[in-house]
Structure 1
């Protein structure tokens, strides 16, 4: 007997020691590759609440009109509402996983009657309460619970990603509408000037300074500008409708600011700091997916180990074996069970191999997400740097073209050394440069918004 006990204890200890890794929490592999290692180190750094990636959207988008639109979008967006429900579903599943530690209880009352050889009816009854408790010796329940927990966190990351998309989507559409209304205002003001230019050309023709060709050419330029106005208005309507959809509203006109000053409230870090990527919700969600796959693999490993369960049953009955007694009596039963898989037709092995393959896929998906995120940040930073140089050049161009328009107009009225074509060319070039400057401003704003989204902003 002593030998049997010692042998049994040895087997149990051996199995327990071999299954130790099943209890380990997920950790990002330290030796996977260089950028995964950089990411792991970034997640261990203290949080800098003043850095761009941690700034709340209200500190980035300070325009009160835009802030109102963003709040409306966050309140009405169906995608965000669905994301919240996904979090609730995952939380419910986590609650179920936690409750798996507790025993199951079932009440199964039953009764019946029997008569033998015409004797009187014998009534029997039983009111048992049954309990079954699986003791989590080898981490089956533990890994399910941990997997459910990271799924909750993953759904929260997805919710944050949707939130970020909504905030930055509204901001981009809003500033696109600001651009179009600025273009419309500039074009309408220019059309007034060009209409006056047509009248001036007519007067100069009467004074024999210019010929009829100058008059009709200036009129053609005027009508060219007038023809562009309906196109701009159509673009305004289309962009307003896009904003209406984002805000969960019927199509309507939307108020926008006339203030073109927009900048980020903090200095942008040079290069591509891994701290930017470590807080992106899609990157975090991809890492949660890797953690979930890790716990699925652990659960698959745990399936190879025995299951220890304790069952109990108690209650009140008048049926004792084949005898019926009245009054009834209380009864209780207690049993333990150790069930170990011996042959499962390869199902456990197949499940484990599939889990390992899915874990490798999750690692690939995580690495791809990190690389894609770094490209997003790089694109936004490069665009910000390049647009600054373009803006300086356009400002210089506009300054010189304004002088050119002034000088050619004066020369045309003083003598005929300057032709009407030079005047028209100068005015056309000025309008083109002014429109380019507005487009440059919008590109700059859009690149700043893109950077904020690329680093995981939108809290």
Structure 2
């Protein structure tokens, strides 16, 4: 009869729980409304095609660069740490799911107790065994009903946190791909600048010999010889700085690859071919293509669900606990009429902790607003990076065209002034010196123009959310 009563009570509470669960007090999450119109300054997007959809293997043609990027994805320590954060978030999600299930514990104990006969205050002549041994084994369980959505809100927050960490890992990868490519192109540009400077040094060493011969022929003075020597050393003194920059860039690249410092195998700047169809798609696509924007929105979702959870603390908590097993004072009777059980169902309504609950809710609401502000800022920064990269590419192309013409003109200027110096007294070595220095500066700047073009494409690719596919 008792068993049936307990079953009825449990069934009653289960039905009531189902009814009350429909009274969920939390809000349903939806993506914040953000205005993405006009985010791409000066770009009127008419097509959803975007270079962000390209796998990084398709963006780059350089085999050495692709090998380095793959090595970085396999070994980079920041990326490995991001994977571990995903695993930790996954464990938290599993823990939040387990909260819906009742807990179950088993116990077995033997209690040996001695009572004071005088302390029991029995009438005279009545005797009782004051030394007892109690044998007990049983199971206990407890279950909290998710009436107001506290457990489900916690689970949704844990899921959003898991997805947030996954987005963070993809954001790390997109940045890693861009960093490796940009450092690689910087290395190639430095190689080219070293090559130009070495070639210039050879020419200036020849110039010194030429000036000495012209001095012997009384065509120029000793001042021209000294100036030519200074010009030679001006080129030579820049070599150590270029070599140092090469070494530092190699070391920085090795850190990204989780390698010790050492040389990096590479191609040449002239051999670089990179996708130049700079399709941006629509600004709204940043919400689905760019991992850090997704990460920021998911952080807002975590805060949103935490606010729902904070609201649930104002309402009563329904908990059902049950315990049962075997208990006997004699080991021989342990399995004979020794069954015990109890079940308790109760509602707990917070009364004196309203201040704590209000503070918890206000904190959660403030954190939710902060997360929303952060999400909106992340989207604006993403749009800024797209705009900057597009304009950097445009200006690099414009400079390359003008720079090529400048270098051609300067090369002719050097040739003409050198010839005039040989055969005309109207030209002195200062004219030659000026034209040579200007030519070297223009050649080095031309390398930087090419580097800017390549890095602008890489930065645009990352800004649009490419590199994680």
TM-score range, shorter chain: 0.7 to 0.9
What do the CA deviations read for 1:339-368 (whole angstroms, capped 9, x no partner)? 333442422222222211221111111112
Counterpart mapping for 1:164-175 below 5 A: 164-175=174-185
User: Which of 159, 162, 171 is matched with 1:152 structurally?
Assistant: 162
User: Which of 414, 430, 433 is matched with 2:439 structurally?
Assistant: 430
The reply on whether 1:179 has 2:189 as its aligned counterpart is yes
User: Which of 285, 293, 297 is matched with 2:295 structurally?
Assistant: 285
User: Which of 419, 439, 442 is matched with 2:428 structurally?
Assistant: 419
Q: Distance in 1 between matches of 2:129 and 2:148?
A: 56
| Aligned partner of residue 358 in structure 1, secondary structure | helix
**Residues 38 and 246 of structure 1, relative CA distance in 2, 3 Å threshold:** closer
The reply on whether 1:295 has 2:315 as its aligned counterpart is no
In structure 2, the partner of 1:81 is 80
CA apart distance, 1:420: 3.3
CA apart distance, 1:333: 3.3
In structure 1, the partner of 2:120 is none
The reply on whether 1:34 has 2:41 as its aligned counterpart is no
Q: Distance in 2 between matches of 1:312 and 1:425?
A: 95
* RMSD of Structure 2 on Structure 1 (CA): 3.1
Kept in 2: contact 1:263–1:448 (CA 8 A) = no
CA apart distance, 1:419: 3.5
CA apart distance, 1:51: 2.3
**Residues 271 and 71 of structure 1, relative CA distance in 2, 3 Å threshold:** closer
The reply on whether 1:369 has 2:378 as its aligned counterpart is yes
User: Structure 2 stretches of 5 or more lacking a match?
Assistant: 1-12, 41-46, 118-126
CA apart distance, 1:301: 1.4
**TM-score (norm: length of structure 2):** 0.84
Kept in 2: contact 1:272–1:378 (CA 8 A) = no
Counterpart mapping for 1:56-67 below 5 A: 56-67=55-66
Moved more, 389-398 or 172-181: 172-181
In structure 1, the partner of 2:8 is none
The reply on whether 1:396 has 2:405 as its aligned counterpart is yes
**Residues 343 and 375 of structure 1, relative CA distance in 2, 3 Å threshold:** same
**Residues 256 and 128 of structure 1, relative CA distance in 2, 3 Å threshold:** same
Kept in 1: contact 2:25–2:148 (CA 8 A) = no
The total of aligned residue pairs comes to: 435
What do the CA deviations read for 1:159-209 (whole angstroms, capped 9, x no partner)? 122222222222222222211111111111111111112222222333333
| Aligned partner of residue 270 in structure 2, secondary structure | coil
**Residues 14 and 316 of structure 1, relative CA distance in 2, 3 Å threshold:** closer
In structure 1, the partner of 2:121 is none
Counterpart mapping for 1:305-454 below 5 A: 305-318=315-328, 327-454=336-463
| Aligned partner of residue 252 in structure 1, secondary structure | coil
